[in-house]
Amino acid sequence: MNRNIKIYFAPFQGITNQTFRHIYAQFFEGIDAFYTPYFTGIKNKDALSPRYLAELKNQTENKSEVIPQILSKDADEIIYFAQQCKQLGFRELNWNLGCPHPQVANKKRGSGLLPFPDMIQAILKDIMAQIDLKFSIKCRLGYEDNEELKALIPVFNSFAISELIIHARTGKQMYSGEADWEAFAQIAPQLTMPVVYNGDITSSEKFAAFSKRFVNFNRLMLGRGILADPFLPARIKGLELPIDKKAHLHRFMDNLYYAYRKAYMDRLTLLGVLKEYWSYLAFAFNEPHKIMRKLKKCKSFDAYEDAVFSIFNDDDLAI
Ligand SMILES: Cc1cc2nc3c(=O)[nH]c(=O)nc-3n(C[C@H](O)[C@H](O)[C@H](O)COP(=O)(O)O)c2cc1C
């Protein structure tokens, strides 16, 4: 039993949007907070766009807190977005210092800002004086190498940051290689705010190995592990699982599909969104490639419905 552990659902641009979070939270237990994929380019200072407001519709999902995330290096933009979030009833804003994509990082945004402690210090000084909701940060060990976060420890420690989530890789690594537990072990004890670990906790076994290495560490953010095994948070917390997991997963996927049809007003682009999610969920089955083969060719709602029926009828779960 690990009921005392806090588990956060990591943000995935293009996947864990409002519709996904809402339906997921109705079907699965164990999540303490959902982080939204990052918001960016908040130029219009009069109001947030209807698209952004729709994404920020719910401040909680089935009693779990939703925490908006911003990707920006502009203190005014962050302050403006924080004020909007506060007005909408959110209690915390998260700052993305982890995005590794070169088109983001090359502009000193996301993990591309990590090699510049002075800039981070100046931005934090501006925003922390002006916002009145909790402010957390999601970062990596660095952009080029994992010494960069070490240089940031005194900066982060000098502000009232509510939590620091560390994805234990560098930006340059993208998602390759292993998460670096040694670097994380060196840095975490030097930070004065609560630290959250993120990276590669994809199964109960991986969690067990992590807890053995980091005894009493109780804050985790999980990403791809939940996308592939939506029961993972409940498993880690030792909560009861449905007896028929396959039937439960099938109902979840049907509900997600109908919610997307509504949210996308039956536009066929929603099939792309579902297929992107399936590229992770396929690993819940014994033969992931077979699952993706069935879905790949679907170009209509009818074909998608038939493929999903066939998957849940004929393919065995691996989880
Ligand atoms: C397709 C994709 C989209 C992502 N979008 C975001 C994002 O919007 N904000 C963010 O902080 N991290 C984002 N991430 C990173 C994940 O939240 C997470 O930190 C990463 O997958 C490592 O955790 P995991 O090993 O548990 O999956 C994204 C990752 C992927 C693969």
Q: What CATH code is carried by the domain that includes residue 174?
A: 3.20.20.70
Which CA distances in Å does 38 have to 43, 47, 152?
15, 18, 22
Residues in contact with 95: Cβ distance below 8 Å, sequence separation at least 6, in sequence order = 69, 70, 72, 78, 135, 136, 137, 138
Same domain for 22 and 132? Answer: yes
Residue 319 lies in a domain: no
Q: Whose CA is nearest to atom 4 of ligand 1?
A: 12
Atom of ligand 1 nearest to the CA of 98: 11
pLDDT of residue 2 exceeding 90, the answer is: no
Question: pLDDT, tens digit, for every residue of 238-257?
Answer: 999 999 999 999 999 999 99
The closest of 303, 304, 300, 302 to 277, measured between CA atoms, is 304
Residue 255 lies in a domain: yes
Atom of ligand 1 nearest to the CA of 222: 26
pLDDT of residue 66: 98
Same domain for 47 and 147? Answer: yes
pLDDT of residue 3: 65
Q: What is the mean pLDDT of residues 74-86?
A: 96
Same domain for 220 and 263? Answer: no
pLDDT of residue 46: 73
Question: pLDDT, tens digit, for every residue of 197-218?
Answer: 999 999 999 999 999 999 989 9
Strands (E), 98-217: 134-142, 164-170, 195-198
Host domain of residue 68: 6-237
Question: pLDDT, tens digit, for every residue of 92-141?
Answer: 999 999 999 999 999 999 999 999 999 999 999 999 999 999 999 999 99
Look at the chain and report how many structural domains it folds into.
Answer: 2
What one-character DSSP code corresponds to residue 189?
A: G
pLDDT of residue 44 exceeding 70, the answer is: no
Return the best residue to mutate from 8, 9, 12 for the ligand 1 pocket (most ligand atoms within 8 A of CB).
12
Q: What percent of the chain has pLDDT over 70?
A: 98
pLDDT of residue 227: 98
Q: Whose CA is nearest to atom 31 of ligand 1?
A: 12
pLDDT of residue 223: 98
pLDDT of residue 312: 98
Same domain for 17 and 118? Answer: yes
Same domain for 127 and 232? Answer: yes
Q: What is the mean pLDDT of residues 76-85?
A: 96
For the stretch 300-309, contacts whose Cβ atoms lie closer than 8 Å and that sit 24 or more positions apart, written own/partner, are 300/268, 301/261, 301/266, 301/268, 301/271, 304/257, 304/271, 304/274, 305/257, 308/250, 308/253, 308/254, 308/257
Residue 1 lies in a domain: no
pTM of the model: 0.98
Residue 61 lies in a domain: yes
